[in-house]
Structure 1
Amino acid sequence: MSSGHEILVNIFDGQSGEMYKMRLNDVVRRITTREMPECFEVEAVKALAVAVRTWVVKKLKAFDGYGCELNKDADLCTDGKCGVEITDLSLLRKSMPDDFDEFYKLACIAEEETADFIMTCGGRPIASDYHLTCGGGTENSEDVFGNRIMYYRKVLCKYCSGSPHWDKTIEISMQELEDKLNIKTLKGNSTFGPEMEGIIEDVVRDDTGRIKKVKIGGRIFTGVEVNQILGLGSSRFGWDPVVLKFKIRGQGDGIGMCLYGANQMAKEGYNYRDILSYYYTNINIEPIETAGDDIPLKGKTFIIDPGHGGEHGDDEKGPTGLREKDVNLYIANKLSKLLENSGAKVVMTRNEDTDISLPKRIELVNSVRPNFLVSIHQNSFFSSKVSGTEVYYYRGDTEGENMSKLIHDNIVKALNTVSRGNRNADFYMLRESKVSAVSVECMYITNPLEEERLKSDEVKDEIAKSIHKSILDYYGI
């Protein structure tokens, strides 16, 4: 890859219960082969291969992905629970005996000619959804998922009009409609029929149920006329719709790339980069960043938040006047250098003794969207006897919980502080950040002994080193 390191994907076999590894390029070739609806132009297949590679990389635990739902140690699985089934080549060949050789050859060419490249937004892999046919325009993410994603913006598409999915019809019986939607519709009888706008409406009956007049398809008829024309045998009649015929344009949820549109764009001379940039907005197409032994955190971004700050800050003071804000900034600066030396990108919410409001800090966090937010504080209590280390995470943030335990344990071990545990809390910085986050309460500055320790640069350096070690531990480095 771009760093010379081969990327391996951990795959869980749902049938055997075993785990095995597969090279990323092999995974991309197999999924691309499966996902091609027909023999596409090579530039369209390249666009699909990049979308598939991006999707896989975003799933990889080595890149902070959530991995497989069936097995916590796996990235993907063989039965499609992760989104796309990873199929053995022999089974793939059996599932498409007439097309396999041609499709697989195309997928291999596309994978090789786009090797290493993925789509990113803000320096991170995008979700890279795609669908068969948009039918004239893709969708905004908030209209499908409920939340705004900047690379899923609606684009008009004139390219997929030749798709076999451009227009189609599906008939669904009323019984099936009721069963699947868990509803009940009005049933007709000889003296009643449900009105249907534009079909049968404005029904007038006499007191015996005979139709006096009715509008059908926009024309008004008497019951006698309908009876005579249709040969019903009586003007006392009702009706039951039996089947609904749905007219459909497009195939899929409309999010991301339209595959048939991509193929037509390729026919018109656009290359895969043009295609991807058209359907995914605000993206970059760039090589995968993989870490080496000397820079194990390459490709990862952290925001370090030194709590409080400013001349009139609301930070705590120790018995002899040591300011929490100053201790926090020292530890944060030290931690920042350690992370940068490990290849990470680091953003600080403040670099000096300034008062930055909590909303401003959150605005920065949610615009950068780092891999982790680490907020650094010193604790306080009205009783000067209380001491120790606590680390907090927001409820439901599993990654934050895991990181908080590592940081807590490493600080306690390195500095022999009292273990006060890791626990969830409703702190503003944890609650409002849209990324995994921890708030580290390193020591109690209101405790005379711990205040004295925090005056030592050596102790503060050890705290920073412990947090740095915890981050490396978290990523298995």
Structure 2
Amino acid sequence: MQCNIFDWESSTEYSVPMWELIGRMAAFNIKETSHQEAAKCFAIIARTELARKLHIYGGSGCEKHKGCELCTEPGHCLELGLPKINISERVRAAVRDTGNLIITFDGKPIKPYCHYRCGGATENSENVIGNRITYLRKVFCEYCRTVDDEGKDKFFSLEELERLLNIKIEKPKDVYYDIKGIFENLDIDEQGRIKSLNIGGKFFKGTEIVERLGLNSTRFNYMPVRFLISCIGIGHGLGLCITGAEEMARRGMSYEDILYYYYTGIKLEEMEMPEEDKPLKGKTIALDAASGEDDSYEGKGPGGLREGEANLKIVLELEMLLKEAGAKVFLTRTGKKHINLSERAEIANGMKPDFFISICQSVFPNGSASGTEAYHYREDKEAAKLGSMILEEISPEMKCRNRGLRTADLYILKEVKCSTLQLNILYITNPEDEKKLADPDMRRKAARAIERGIIRYYGQMGK
């Protein structure tokens, strides 16, 4: 499989085999001295990062350069860009030996955070990025404790601290009476002269200090003017500890052992590949047939057709089409009985779909009103895009008026926690619209039009 890359420096697009792209991403963290099991970890981490960008996993590719999976710009698609780096035979072997494995949680690729050295324990995500991520839990790491980091000690003067932290440190006006472990047990007379004190645990008279340090008098103040700040570990502490992973590998542990240790509750799974005949593979869509039996608000046509009956038949047709296109499909109801709004929202939120589509019909006292319309919640831009595409497909297919896309504060649009669209297919109170809804061929046409709109939407995301 080829991946499209946008080169930031030359402003050109080019295609790269997926294995080579994964190798370039992995090679950045793999040293010549790296253990092969640790190298395999980075091959899987690189593949996982790439999977997150693919449409099959709900990604949108590079957001700056449509049609490209990644760009080489530092800080955009990847934290450090995509360097043009030599892929050694060791890296090639790590990519080859890990097949198509990626790290997943709840069926989706994780954000595979890693850092150089945790210093004894990794960190919980909420303490670094502000939100709780289940697979980024603190784990104790004995594997990197003995490493002595370069540049761990830094000295700062008071003036530097004030400038860098944008603070003002108040200088003492009186004698500092106690700095634990350094200046302690001071005996001071009424004039503020130091009669005696302990320094570093040793007793001194004030006059001894004056003599040994060459001070002017025993009436002196003191305060720290230079501070040593010594760090333990390098990096944010999230996810895999690179130094710890190396040590685990040297102790005979496999890449599976290492990844399962640092990422909580994950799975190692084969990455799904896009299939041309399965354009919706990897997508999850919830379909809602509104207004079943016993719904006091259910619409009825002049010929007796019930709204809940018509929209359920459309939903069942659509379910089959979407499954054939590779999507996972969930229904809020499959039987005739009505399910109330709060239960339907709860069902949808438990499914965690990519989209929730509610199929309804419109009702109007005047039987002349006709056509199809769609509703979305304000600021739900993705539902608006999908709604427009479906209306463009369904109106010519059903030979009906496109009544347009509208915002609404409907309960189902507000309470379902994903992009949600309510599609009102025709007016059941219009005699001609009712005939179309009662016709199995027309219902199939409606379902096919909705499917085409959904496929168009996901195809447009990559353009």
Q: TM-score, normalised by structure 1?
A: 0.81
Determine whether 1:151 maps to 2:135.
yes
- The one-letter code matched in structure 1 to 2:257 is D
Residue matched to 2:275: 292
2:58 to 48, 58, 64: 64
> 1:78 aligned to 2:72?
yes
Residue 168 (1) aligns with residue 162 (2): no
Q: Matched residues in 1 for 2:351 and 2:115: separation? A: 29
- 1:51 matched residue in structure 2: 45
Instruction: Please give the per-residue CA displacement for 1:293-312, whole angstroms capped at 9, x wherever unaligned.
Output: 33333333222222343534
Matched position secondary structure for 1:468: helix
Q: Is it true that 1:467 corresponds to 2:459 in the alignment?
A: no
> What is the distance in 2 between the residues matched to 1:428 and 1:127?
33
Of the three residues 231, 239, 242, the one matched with 1:259 is 242
Match of 1:129 among 113, 121, 130: 113
1:208–1:275 CA distance, 2 compared to 1 (3 A): same
Q: 1:429 to 1:86 in 2, by over 3 A?
A: same
User: What is the DSSP-based 3-state SS (H/G/I as helix, E as strand, rest coil) of the residue aligned with 2:21?
Assistant: helix
| Correspondence for 2:167 among 178, 184, 187 | 184
Q: For the residues of structure 2 that align with 1:400 and 1:209, how far apart are their CA atoms?
A: 75
How far apart are the structure 2 equivalents of 1:239 and 1:443? Answer: 85
Verify the 8 A CA contact 1:307 1:375 in the aligned structure 2.
Answer: yes
Shift of 1:390: 2.6
Given that 2:56 and 2:281 are in contact with CA atoms closer than 8 Å, whether structure 1 keeps it comes out as no
Q: Match for 2:321: what amino acid? A: L
Query: C-alpha displacement at 1:144, in angstroms?
Result: 3.0
SS in 1 for 2:285: strand
User: In the alignment, is the contact (CA less than 8 A) between 1:54 and 1:119 conserved in 2?
Assistant: yes
2:375 corresponds to which residue?
A: 392
Higher-Rg member (1/2): 2
Change over 3 Å in CA distance of 1:296–1:61 after alignment to 2: closer
Q: Note closer, same or farther for the CA distance 1:457–1:106 as it changes in structure 2 (3 Å cut).
A: same
Q: Supply the distance in 2 between the matched residues of 1:330 and 1:217 (Cα, whole angstroms).
A: 86
Residues 192 and 151 of structure 1: is their aligned pair in 2 closer, same or farther, counting only changes over 3 Å?
A: same
C-alpha displacement of 1:411: 1.6
SS at match of 1:278: helix
Counterparts of 2:178 and 2:345 in 1: how far apart (Å)? 54
**Larger deviation: 206-215 or 350-359?**
206-215
In structure 1, what residue type is equivalent to 2:67?
D
The residue that corresponds to 1:97 in the other structure is none
* Alpha-carbon separation, structure 2, partners of 1:383 and 1:400: 29
**Does the 8 Å CA contact 1:387/1:450 hold for their aligned counterparts?**
yes
Are residues 1:420 and 2:415 paired?
Answer: no
| Unmatched 5+ stretches in structure 2 | none
What is the identity, as a one-letter code, of the residue corresponding to 1:126? I
Q: Compute the displacement of 1:374 (Å).
A: 2.2
Paired positions, count: 459
Give the letter for the 2:77 counterpart: C
Shift of residue 184, structure 1, vs aligned partner: 1.6
Verify the 8 A CA contact 2:58 2:282 in the aligned structure 1.
no
CA contact (8 A) 1:190 1:236 kept: no
Do the aligned residues in 2 keep the contact of 1:191 with 1:236 (CA within 8 Å)?
no
Q: Distance in 2 between matches of 1:342 and 1:332?
A: 15
- Quote the offset at 1:468 in angstroms: 0.5
Judge conservation of contact 1:313–1:355 (CA < 8 Å) in 2: no
Pair 190,121 (structure 1): closer, same or farther in 2 beyond 3 Å: closer
Root-mean-square deviation (Å): 3.8
Give, in whole Å, the separation in 1 of the partners of 2:31 and 2:244: 12
For structure 1, the 5+ residue unaligned runs are 1-5, 94-102
Q: Is the 8 A contact 2:57 2:108 kept in 1?
A: no
Deviation at 1:174, TM superposition (A): 4.4
The 5 A counterparts of 1:335-374 are 335-374=318-357
Report the CA distance between 1:114 and its aligned residue: 0.9
Q: Percent identity?
A: 38
Asked if 1:107 corresponds to 2:88, the answer is no
Residues 337/108 of structure 1: CA separation in 2 closer, same or farther (3 Å cut): same
* Distance change >3 Å, CA 452–CA 232, structure 1 → 2: farther
State yes or no: 1:403 paired with 2:386. yes
Distance 2:178 2:459 in 1: 65
Of the structure 1 ranges 210-219 and 405-414, higher mean CA displacement relative to structure 2 is found in 210-219
1:442 is matched with: 425
Cα deviation, residue 451, structure 1: 3.5
Aligned counterparts of 1:466 and 1:189: Cα–Cα separation in 2: 78
